[in-house]
A = this chain, B = another copy of it.
Amino acid sequence: MKVGFIGLGRMGVGMAANLVTAGHEVTVYNRSAIKLQALVERGAQAAARLADACRGEAVFTMIADDAAVEAVVFGEGGVLASLREQAIHASLSTISVALSQRLAAAHATAGQRFVAAPVFGRPEAAAAAKLFVVAAGPPDAVEVCLPLFEAIGQRTFRFGDQAHLANLIKLSGNFLIGSVIEALGEAIALVNKAGVDRLRYLELLTSTLFKAPVYETYGRLIAEQKFEPAGFAAPLGFKDIRLALEAAESLRVPMPLGSLLHDRLLTLIAGGGEALDWSAIGQLSARDAGLA
């Protein structure tokens, strides 16, 4: 399939490479030219202008935040202006529910099709084509994208024809991860202040009831108090919790645990923790217990 790919960050570069590997004809575009070369060597074509990445049946965007997506889509020579009729824009990054709704409407008006397909997984999973894809949008458009999603992930979950539901689900997932972090932070502060070794405690948890990657990954960061370099920096975590709460507010769904996460992350950032991994909110539990 002829497909464009916009946004070659830590996640995007692996995804684009996997599309090439799977035999698709991929045109890549990035604001800065860095990283283009490696992809070209693997068989991708480099687009000089953003519009050149929008000539195929579909274009994928993997772009940091709402503002950047808006610029890329609605800006002059952007995705909206460049896609041909019936072509598909699949947005793979974590954006707000409201923007997703706006994108769906704008593309529909332009005779194009919009699919939301946010992914779960970190850069290593992106490189290894092990992502999980949560896809929603017009069924025929999702259908067209399925082989592409298969090229970048280990499994695709479809959630109907309303694109923004995929974004909501993705945000809810990050809320769940944040909850794990907060719970681990409090539990580890508790047992540690009593004298229990943090890593030994974590080993117990992850060998028994909590044998899940998320407990292992974040439990280790908290137990080792190793928050730099950030895998997922505090401001990004804060942004996602905010987007989840924003959607919850629109839907009129109170989320007290979400509010707690919001306040924790805000405290972390107010205290100068911008460069830390978002799991450093676990350290606030230790601090409040007089441990740090």
- Contact residues of A with B, CB < 8 Å? 120, 132, 134, 155, 157, 159-160, 162, 165, 168-169, 172-173, 175-177, 179-180, 182-184, 186-187, 189-191, 193-196, 200-201, 203-205, 207-215, 242, 244, 247-249, 251-260, 262-264, 266-267, 269-272, 285, 288-290
Contacts and interface: CB of A to CB of B under 8 A. Distances in A.
A270 B257 contact: no
Contacts of A160: 195-196
Contacts of A263: 254-256, 259
For the residues of A in contact with B, the DSSP-based class is: helix
Contacts of A248: 190
Contact of A165 (B176, B177, B195, B210): B195
Nearest to A179: B183
A203 B169 CA distance: 12
A191 B169 contact: yes
Contact of A134 (B204, B244, B258, B271): B204
Contacts of A285: 253-255
A168 B186 contact: no
The 7 closest A-B pairs by CB, nearest first: A179-B183, A212-B212, A259-B259, A252-B270, A270-B290, A253-B289, A254-B263
